[in-house]
Structure formats: C-alpha cells, structure tokens
Amino acid sequence: MDIRHADRIADALEELIFTAEFEDNARLDEVRLAERFAVSRTPVREALQRLVASGIAIQIPRRGVFVRQPGPVELLEMFEVMAELEASCGRLAALRISTADIARLETANENCLSAIDAGDSDAYYRENEAFHHLIYKASGNGFLEQEALRLHRRLKPYRRLQLRLHGRMSQSMQEHQRILSALRDGKSDRAATALRDHVAVQGEKFHRLLANLKPAAE
Amino acid sequence: MDIRHADRIADALEELIFTAEFEDNARLDEVRLAERFAVSRTPVREALQRLVASGIAIQIPRRGVFVRQPGPVELLEMFEVMAELEASCGRLAALRISTADIARLETANENCLSAIDAGDSDAYYRENEAFHHLIYKASGNGFLEQEALRLHRRLKPYRRLQLRLHGRMSQSMQEHQRILSALRDGKSDRAATALRDHVAVQGEKFHRLLANLKPAAE
DNA sequence: GTCAACGATTTTGTATACAATACATTCGAG
DNA sequence: CTCGAATGTATTGTATACAAAATCGTTGAC
C-alpha cells in the first residue's frame, strides 16, 4: 500500500455515500469503519474530516459525523448553480476560446452523435462530459474551471438517473450546436444563455422526476 | 476549553495565513505548531487538513503541508468568479426578491451613505458587506448563497487592500443604486450585469494595483 | 573536486492509550 | 406509573508511542 490510508478511505467512503450505500443521516461510526477498512481510528477520522469539508457529511461536535444527502430542494439549488456556473464558463469562453479548442469541442460533439447512433449511452455520457469539461477549460479561468468541475462531480450521481429519458439526447445535441455557434461567433451572452438553458433542463427533468415520485406529498 | 482544539487551531492558522504571517510556500511544521498552540500533533493535523481542503494550503504526501497563497493570476481569476457568482445572485434575486428584502437592501445602502458622510471607512466596509450578503440571500438559492459567502470570505483579505482608493466609494454607491433599481423592476439581466460590473471593478483595481507594484517585472 | 551511496536524523503517517463528554439504563422519589 | 437523577457505558477528542519514509550529512570511490 503506497498510498495514504486516509485518502483511500475518504475516496471509498465518498463512493459509498454516492451510491447510497449509507442512507441519509446515518452515523459514520469511527470504530466500525476502522474495523471495516482494517486500520485504526486515526486515518478514518482524517477521511471523515474530508467528507465534512466537502459537504457530503456534517459533524456535530462530540456526537459524531453523519451522512448528509442533499434533499430535493438543495439538489435543485445545486443544479441551478451548475447552470449558472456553466453559463459563466460559456460567457468567458466566447471571448477567449481558441480555434484549437473549438475544433476539440466539435470533435467531442461528433463523438456524441456517434454514440447516439450506436445506441451507446455510456459513450454518450462520457463524450457529453468531455464537451462540458472542454468548455470549463475554454473559459480561460482555471479557478472557475476547478469550481465547475467540483460541482459537476458532486452532481454526477444524480445526473445519471435522468439521462435515459426518452428524446432527450437529440434535443441535447441541438442545444450543443447552439452553444457551439455562439462560441464560434464570440457571442458571450448567447453562449451563456444557451449553456444555462441546456443545463437547467436537467434541473427541470429532475424536478419533474421528483414530482412524479411524490405526487401530492407535503 | 469547551471548543475543539482542532477547530480553534484551524481558525487561528487561517487568520495567520490571511494576515500573511506565514509567507507563501512556508512549511507548516506539525511539531512547531503543536508547541505553539500547546497541544499535541493530532489536533494540529486535523486543522491542517481543513486548510488543505479549503485550498489555503496544499499537502504533499510524506512531505508536509505548505502555505499556498494565490498568485496574481489566480487572484484575478477568483475576482472574476466572484463577479460571476454575484451576477448569478442578482439574476435570481431579481425574479424572487421580496419587498421586505428590498427594504433591507435600501437600509443597508443608506447606512453605506451615512458611513461615507461620516468618513467611517470601517462602517462603510461593514455595511457594504451586508448589502452584498443580502443579495446572496435574496437569490433564494441557499446553496448559491453559501458558495458566494465562501468565496467572498476567501477574498476578504485582498479586498481590504484596495478599498481606500480615491473616489471609489461614491461611484460604488451609484452602482448600488443601479443594482437596486434593477432588482426593484425585476429585470434579471440588468441586475446581473450591474452586479457583475460592480464586482469586476474590484478585480480591475486589483489588476492596476499589481501593475503598479511590479512595473516591468518578469 | 565531484558525485554517489550509505547511515543518521527528522518528519510524516498510523496505532494505541488516555481523557472527557454524551448517551442509556436503572433506580428511586413523588 | 411517570419523571428525574445518578451511575455505567459508549464514543468522541487528544496525547503519546511506534513505523515508515524522506531529507540531510558524511564518507568514500573515481
């Protein structure tokens, strides 16, 4: 084992929480986790601190740390912020993007199309992600890129749920085209709006999904 | 001592780094810090982890953790993201703000004016901060509010430097008026643009400040 | 004189031991 | 029977001890 146990455990715990292995508000027992990972409490505690710092768990002093799955409201809020962040990336990218990066975006887009034709939704997911990550980078703002990546990653488990809804993919590709054309033309406002709407659709889908789950609840 | 040592030390270290007590790339020696705070290495290590998680320091495995002051480029990037985040807050707030919150903004604004008249720049700083925090909250998006607060806080030490530049305050108040009127009218795009420009000015000032500091350096 | 390899020292990472606080159960008073 | 206090137990927070890795210095070969 050439890697720090604390890091390994933090990654493992994050994965376990994202895959809903631990339910919301579950206490993350230090000694149980220590036994489970066959280490002492020390690296477990460091891993827990990392989870708390990243917001997927909360710590109540002298009580322990507890899983904190975002509720429906917070998820919608996070999707909304994602849309705003991507809009910002688009706004800046329209002013700064290089021809090389435009070419890369076009390639990713074509790969998306190929994946749709092949019916390979995993490949579509991957190439779609590449498309968006390229836009983050093309913003020319490394800090913004990192923040966008961070939230994107955090929302990943929830995005997977809604990908395979009926005619979404082809509509999504049209939106990609609009984004691309705005970037090519250097129209920052158009690029921002196109990206915001494109991402916001995911929030809408999610909203509808929730509404269907709990028809008249609360 | 009824508070966790780790938390106290983390706050203290953060403050020390923000006030440039530790210079960039300085190693944060666990045992020295432990002696300094009169505790063992354990709570010091937890504090360091928190610094690393918040990006104020970086950790090189088996080497230690080192202060990581953002360089000029990254600072400009952070100011740019701050401008974008506030623009997003303004966009959403224009759609959702309550009359009560508008009244609160007006109050904060009046307090800003009073502070200027009184020549009390500390009070101005405080009320200006309140104005912006109110807008974050008025976005109606708690997650966005937290993210904005986080970055705002992170940029705080750098904002203090440039506050007392010549005629900035009165210009700033005019911008606040424009923001307020856009919010009152529910014009989301206008509010977003007004806020983006308002905040971006700080980045510009900072840019100029840097250019003056190192006229032809590197 | 330079460079490399080996050993000593320092420092991080982990394990364990101890302290202090919170929780639960039980016992007793009303 | 219900509520509350007290003690016992469990769990977090901190200190210390140990292990492993990296840095530094020295020594020796070329």
Whether A144 and chain B come into contact, CB under 8 Å, resolves to yes
Model ipTM? 0.91
For residue B169, pLDDT beyond 50:
yes
CA of B23, C1' of C26: distance in angstroms: 58
Please give the average per-residue pLDDT across B132-151, as a whole number: 98
Give the amino acid at B48.
Answer: L
For A37-88, write each residue's pLDDT tens digit: 999 999 999 999 999 999 999 999 999 999 999 999 999 999 999 999 999 9
For B62-73, write each residue's pLDDT tens digit: 999 999 999 999
For residue B179, pLDDT beyond 80:
yes
Q: How far apart are CA A87 and CA A140, in angstroms?
A: 14
Which nt is closest to the CA of A42, judged by C1'?
C14
Q: How confident is the model at residue B218 (pLDDT cuts 50, 70, 90)?
A: very low
CB contacts of B72 in chain A (<8 Å) are none
For A90-121, write each residue's pLDDT tens digit: 999 999 999 999 999 999 999 999 998 888 88
| Residue A7 confidence (pLDDT) | 95
Per the DSSP assignment, residues forming a β-bridge with B58 are B66
CB contacts of A84 in chain B (<8 Å) are 84-85, 88, 91, 144
Q: Minimal CA–CA distance to B13: which of B78, B65, B74, B60?
A: B65
Is the Cβ atom of B60 within 7 Å of strand D at any atom? no
For residue B11, pLDDT beyond 80:
yes
CA of A60, C1' of C27: distance in angstroms: 31
Strand C: protein residues, Cβ closer than 7 A? A 4-6, 39-43, 46, 62-63; B 2, 27, 29-31, 41-42, 45, 59, 61-64
For residue B83, pLDDT beyond 60:
yes
User: Which of B50, B143, B147 has its CB closest to that of A74?
Assistant: B143
Contact call for A4 and B61, based on CB within 8 A: yes
Contact call for A74 and B142, based on CB within 8 A: yes
Please give the average per-residue pLDDT across A181-208, as a whole number: 91
Tell me the shortest Cα–Cα distance from B16 to chain A, in angstroms.
20
Give the amino acid at B5.
Answer: H
> What DSSP string runs through B109-171?
HHHHHHHHHHT-HHHHHHHHHHHHHHHHHHTS-HHHHHHHHHHHHHHHHHHHHHTT-TTHHHH
| Residue A163 confidence (pLDDT) | 56
Which residue did the predictor score with more confidence, B41 or B169? B41
Q: How far apart are CA B86 and CA A79, in angstroms?
A: 17
Q: Residue A58: what are its φ and ψ, rounded to 5°?
A: -125, 150
Which nt is closest to the CA of A61, judged by C1'?
D12
Q: Are residues A60 and B7 in contact, defined by beta-carbon separation less than 8 angstroms?
A: no
Tell me the shortest Cα–Cα distance from B76 to chain A, in angstroms.
9
Per the structure block, which two tokens stand in for A102?
Answer: 């435009």
CA of A60, C1' of D4: distance in angstroms: 26
Neighbour tally for A15: CB within 10 Å? 11
> What DSSP string runs through A1-51?
--S-HHHHHHHHHHHHHHTTSSPTT-B--HHHHHHHHTS-HHHHHHHHHHH
Give the amino acid at A18.
Answer: F
Long-range contacts of B121-130 (CB under 8 A, 24+ apart): B121/B163, B121/B164, B124/B163, B124/B169, B125/B160, B125/B163, B128/B172
CA of B30, C1' of D26: distance in angstroms: 28
Calculate helix-pair angle for A121-138, A142-162, nearest 10 degrees: 160
Q: How far apart are CA A115 and CA B48, in angstroms?
A: 45
How large is the C-alpha radius of gyration of chain B?
A: 20
For residue B188, pLDDT beyond 80:
yes
For A127-167, write each residue's pLDDT tens digit: 999 999 999 999 999 999 999 999 999 999 888 766 555 56
User: Which of A46, A50, A77 has its CB closest to that of B141?
Assistant: A77
CB contacts of A81 in chain B (<8 Å) are 88, 141, 143-144, 147
Q: How far apart are CA B36 and CA A173, in angstroms?
A: 58
Give the amino acid at A148.
Answer: A
Q: Are residues A51 and A13 in contact, defined by beta-carbon separation less than 8 angstroms?
A: yes
CB contacts of B84 in chain A (<8 Å) are 84-85, 88, 91, 144
Domains and CATH numbers, chain B: 5-67 (1.10.10.10), 72-213 (1.20.120.530)
Sorted by sequence, the CB contacts under 8 Å of residue B2 that are 6+ apart come out as: none
CB-count exposure of residue A198 (10 Å: 0-12, 13-18, 19+): buried
CA of A46, C1' of C16: distance in angstroms: 16
What's the number of CA atoms in the CB half-sphere (13 Å) around residue B143? 20
Instruction: Characterise B7 by phi-psi region: left (phi > 0), alpha (psi -120 to 50), beta (else).
Output: alpha
pLDDT averaged over every residue in chain B: 91
